[in-house]
Structure 1
Amino acid sequence: MPDFMRNPPRLIHDFPPLPGDLPTITQVNEVFGVSRDLPLNYVERDKVGNKLFLALAQNHHIVIHGSSKQGKTCLRKWNIKNRALDSIKTKTLIVLEGLPLPPQQGPALVLRSLKGYFDYSDRRFVIIGVWLDDNKLLRYNGDLGGRISTVNADKWSRPELEKVISSGEELIGITFDRDFKEHILDSCLDSVWVVQQACYQACIEQGVISDANEGTTVGSLEHAKKLMDGIVQDQASRAESFIDSFSAGPTTMLTNIYRWTIFTVLACDIARLEGGLSVAEIAEFIGTFGAPVDPNLRDLIRELPEISEFQMHHLEISPIVLDYDFGARRLNVVDRSFLLWLSGQNRVDILRQAGMPGNSLRRWQRDVHDLPNSHHKGAAHPRKPVRAPRPVRPAPRPAADA
């Protein structure tokens, strides 16, 4: 063996030690944008964070849920890492990210085991999922009642989003133009991801990559409009692919249910979509603009609970776009990037591309879309009285034993 391999030079000692007072440089990608680490401008939402801390202190299993890209993982990381948890009895927290519902195979086994873990173990699970229903897990395991605490991480208030921006400004030493900030906040549909992404892109496009540009003013109204248009267009391919795939349904027999469900979503006002669509509203839309052979209320109640599984396991979409709240019988859009894309589209064109029958589309356009008070040309239902949803007839009672 050569001498240099027996005694390799210890090069580290050939350099003088680094001084301990070097200035810290804050990079833009540590603050804005999307990162696997906690952003430096993380904002605590008191209502949400306190509920999570209380759940930890109660030694429950915890479910953190909400739309995609709304800070669920950051909420978990911040509270478990930074809070004082000395009072918590559990020794082990097991995190399950993106638990599919309905659960299959491995996840289903874990879900069935949660009661046992609660009763006989000090292990606790933190489950993070893309849904809005607080009681979704109870549908699959009723024994979890009283053993889980749910934390809805979906909502961001305007002041909280403003603080996301101002905290970032302070960290990087910049100021965003006032009109830039107002337009982003007005257009983001309360999506923290959109705010983070728009601020990041504005900095990069203006050459700001760290706090070395202290004192710089970033952005303008025109820049904000351009960035938001770009973010919307970035979602187009995924959104259009989802519409085409979802409309086909899992089988030919079920195609009408799925296609008329997506027609209702595409025709609906964004504000109403943010609150969710009841099954009755979907049935009303179909009864008003569909044909007599199209799906009725009973068909929808039977099939809509299966749409999450269809998206995950048949279409292999992650995150899913639509989810069904079984208790409230409500269809929710759980991908805010889809809502953002839809808000910038001509609804007549989108419905035509999705395959809505011509007569139905013309009737909807005449009765809803073209009305003067249809404020963004996207309300789902006409403002005149409409035919009520078809009633659901009760199933016949079984005959009594003789």
Structure 2
Amino acid sequence: MKITDAKVFVGGPGKNYVTLKIITDQGIYGLGDATLNNRETLPAKYLQDYLIPNLIGMDPRNSEDIWQFFYRGAYFRRGPIAMAAFGAIDMALWDIKGKLANMPLYQLFGGKSRDGAMVYAHATGADLEDLMDSISQYVEQGYRAVRVQCGIPGMPTASYAVPDKPGENEHYMSDFSGIRPKVEIWNSDRYLRYMPGALAEIRARFGPELKLLHDVHHRLTPREAAEFARAVEPVGLYWLEDPTPAEDQSALKLLRQHSTVPVAIGEVFNSIWECNKLIEQELIDFIRVAVTYAGGITHVKRIVDLAGLHHVRTGFHGAPSHSPISMAAQHHLNAWAPNFGIQEYLVLDTPECDALFPSEHRMKNGMVYVSDAPGLGVDFDESEAQNYSYKPGSHPVVRLEDGTLWDY
């Protein structure tokens, strides 16, 4: 069996999805996702110019050797561009493998550990009452877990993942349009004074059963993160996400000395080498890698297995920048992983997206139920893809009130 061709498509409804299709001489094809949010053309070009010419003629069943060939053969290793491209190839090869076996991928991993996988939604509000309304909407839909973010009084602009005005909270997403990034203004002192009390009010309103998650998005120093974590201990958060910049892994030692709040980190990590010490030293409770950015199923399975040895559970990244292809890969991993924790779920469930990526994966009452179709269980309609093209965009940037650039 040989790979005879591979195609890259860039575009989609509301997002610049980078979709890879690998075709074999037996007519079986596999799909992968290489979407690198707001830098989508880079992994697409890497695939087209460097990786696909090497794929042609390879045996797609040898997914382990192919992964090693691209990773170890690159010399300059890792990084989000390369790992997203490798991840797309690896997903597509596993998709082919599942179709050859006529089995869903979770069966190739070792079968199901659970019937459904719990997901969390993003509740947000311009102020606390607006956030309360958003949480109520998701609770009514059956969600058992929500991430909560709201505006901070006195903050000059809306903070991370927060709308500008009340009433704009339903299905809110940050505006990434335009090549020049928007600027958010941040003040850690105001955040530290306000947010612990806000989280306590949310807990009092919704009771102990609802799982509450909160994302600091890298914006506190280690000392501030430790102070905040200790202050919110009575709230009983399911997790505190990215309390400090991920590059400074030793910072979490200080947090651990002062608080027992569960910590989730890893959505910006690209390999096991960015998170192995955090896992082995048990400085985190949830690992947040994504199948795309972390090099595909082959590599992420290694991370999941390492995490399982150290009481660390999964909490895969699931922002709208992940296409239904990469989310399908994570659905299969979630069904299998003995140390599964929770799955972020912020995909664009629209008729347009369903037409481009038809599948039988289903989300109901805050749980995802994986399809039993062979392989990834998601397809790609090339005729629908012709309706979309690349549109440039950028993440916002953050500055302090005096103009100092800060961590987004």
Report the TM-score when normalising by structure 2: 0.22
> Greater RCO between the two (CA within 8 Å, min separation 6)?
2
Larger radius of gyration between Structure 1 and Structure 2: 1
Q: Which has the higher helix share?
A: 1
TM-score (norm 1): 0.22
